[in-house]
Every structure is written in C-alpha cells, then in structure tokens.
C-alpha cells in the first residue's frame, strides 16, 4: 500500500503490520523532516517492511501499477492541483486497485478571500472542495465506483466560518482497460465495442474481465 502525505508515518506503520512480512507499506511526503521522523518511528518499531520517500502527490516517485491500495488522510485539501494528484494516484495503482481518502470537504465553494489566505490553507480550510467536485475529479482521473464510506459532523472552519465536514471516500481503478483497448477487429481502435466482439471476449474460456488483459 501507499500512503499519500504520510506525515509521521503512523498509518503506514499500521498498514505495515496489517500486510505482513511479505507486503510493503510506503509513505510519501513533501517534507524531508516528516520523512525523517517517520523513518525514526519505523526504526523504533522495527517495521522492516515500511518505507518512506520524499515526494509530491502531484509527481509521485513510484512506478506505474505499483500499489494494491492507495490511502491518504487529510492531505488532498492541501494540494492546489487535486486533478493531477488523483491522476498520479490512479497511475501508481494496479488495475482493480482501490483508493481510500479521508479529507475535509466544503458544503459550498470556499470564498475567494479565504482561498488566498495562507493560514486558511494550513488550517485545511482554503483548499477544501465540495463533495460533487471531489467525485468529478476522481472520475476525470479514471476512478469509478466512488462512494462515501463515512461522514463526520459538520465543522465550522474556524474564524473563516466555512462550513466543512470530514468524509472518507473509496474509489476503484477499473480492472478492464477502456473499450478502445479492444484487441481485435472489428472493434479495434473504436471507443465502444460492438455486442458481437463484447460477447466473444466475454465468453472466452478462462479469461475474466471480458478477455482483456489486466
Ligand atoms: C495534515 S498532515 C497529515 C499527515 C498524515 N496523513 C496523518 O494522517 O497524520 C499533512 C501532511 O501532508 C504533507 N503534504 C502536504 N502537501 C503535500 C504534497 N503536495 N505532497 C506530499 N505531501 C504533502 C505534509 O507535509 C504533511 O505531512
């Protein structure tokens, strides 16, 4: 698993225990200081399968299809380019992998004055987007089946009086390639498969996911 914005590393250390000695948990964080702290915490616990790397959500230092699961807690709101962060999460997930994100969302668009206030950014207020916007960004990055797993009480957003709540969302990277990957004529290169091609691939013995490679 990969934790985006891993901070002191506590979620990575929990995951490292959960995945067992043959699994790996990797934390990515923007600052060298947090990565150093997380590494000290991992060493103190003897968590040999936990690793921490410096990197940005918008340019993850990880290969394509690296992770079964990507998680993140209270970080996406801090990222100005959320669309790019979700594209990167999608890239590093294996097909069929899942993304689970906890974050604050705003009930309404955050007013421009608050958006420009650096203190409101560091308080996790200025960068909050609405839930529909969150779903839109996830879908545009290629995720599907996005759903809210948990939702907390409304928070008032401190002196900025922005109405916020905490949500935990789950979304999946599809395990089937898009229809344009239909491998043979007559559908190759098209944006949708004809029913003949769809049925032929779907019926192919021993080939789950409609016969397309995953
Ligand atoms: C509010 S803390 C949350 C830490 C951790 N996820 C937790 O639940 O304790 C936000 C963390 O995200 C990191 N962060 C903020 N923006 C980031 C970015 N663009 N790329 C990577 N990490 C980022 C910060 O350095 C900080 O450690």
If you measure from the C-alpha of residue 5 to the centroid of ligand 1, how many angstroms do you get, rounded to a whole number? 4
pLDDT value for 155: 73
| CATH ID of 2-172, from 3.50.50.60, 3.30.70.330, 3.30.300.30, 3.40.50.150 | 3.40.50.150
- Per domain, the residue ranges of the chain are 2-172, 179-211
Asked if 71 contacts 11 with a C-beta cutoff of 8 angstroms, the reply is yes
- The pocket around ligand 1, CB under 6 angstroms, is made up of 5-7, 10-11, 29-31, 34, 56-57, 73-75, 78-79
Q: Which two tokens stand for residue 69?
A: 């699961």
Gap from CA of 130 to ligand 1 centroid (Å): 20
Centroid of ligand 1 to alpha carbon of 202 (angstroms): 43
| pLDDT of amino acid 16 | 97
| 10-residue averages of pLDDT along the chain (214 residues) | 98 97 96 98 97 98 98 97 98 98 94 94 94 97 97 81 94 78 52 55 46 36
pLDDT digits (tens, 9 = 90+) for 11-27: 999 999 999 999 999 99
CB 167 within 8 A of CB 102: yes
Q: Give the CA radius of gyration of the chain.
A: 20
Residue 186: asked if its preceding bond is cis (omega within 30°), the reply is: yes
Q: Give the residue ranges of DSSP H helices in the chain.
A: 10-19, 32-45, 82-92, 112-115, 118-122, 131-140, 195-203
Q: Measure the CA–CA gap between 124 and 75, rounded to whole angstroms.
A: 8
Identify the residue whose C-alpha is closest to ligand 1 atom 9: 7
Closest ligand 1 atom to the C-alpha of 10?
A: 9
153 Cα–ligand 1 center, Å? 22
User: Residue 116: what pLDDT?
Assistant: 94
DSSP element (H, E) containing 55: none
C-alpha separations of 109 from 60, 100, 143 in Å: 28, 23, 23
Cα 15 to chain centroid, rounded:
16
Question: How far away, in angstroms, is 39 Cα from ligand 1 center?
Answer: 15
pLDDT at 158: 81
pTM over 0.75: yes
CA 214, CA 211: separation in Å to the nearest integer?
9
């Amino acid at each position: 698993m990969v934790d985006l914005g891993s901070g002191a590393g506590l979620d990575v250390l929990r995951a490292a225990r959960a995945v067992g000695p043959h699994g790996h948990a990797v934390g990515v964080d923007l600052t060298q200081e947090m990565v150093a702290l997380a590494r000290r915490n991992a060493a103190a616990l003897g968590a040999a399968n936990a690793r921490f790397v410096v990197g940005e959500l918008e340019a993850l230092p990880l290969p394509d299809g690296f992770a079964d699961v990507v998680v993140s807690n209270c970080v996406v709101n801090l990222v100005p380019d959320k669309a790019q962060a979700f594209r990167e999460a999608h890239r590093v997930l294996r097909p069929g992998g899942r993304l689970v994100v906890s974050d604050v969302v705003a009930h309404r668009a955050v007013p421009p004055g608050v958006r420009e206030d650096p203190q409101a950014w560091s308080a996790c207020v200025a960068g909050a987007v609405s839930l529909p916007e969150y779903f839109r960004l996830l879908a545009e990055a290629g995720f599907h089946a996005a759903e809210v797993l948990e939702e907390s009480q409304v928070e008032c957003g401190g002196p900025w009086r922005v109405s916020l709540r905490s949500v935990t969302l789950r979304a999946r990277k599809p395990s089937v390639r898009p229809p344009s990957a239909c491998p043979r004529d007559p559908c190759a290169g098209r944006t949708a498969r004809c029913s003949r091609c769809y049925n032929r691939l779907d019926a192919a013995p021993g080939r789950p996911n409609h016969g397309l490679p995953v």
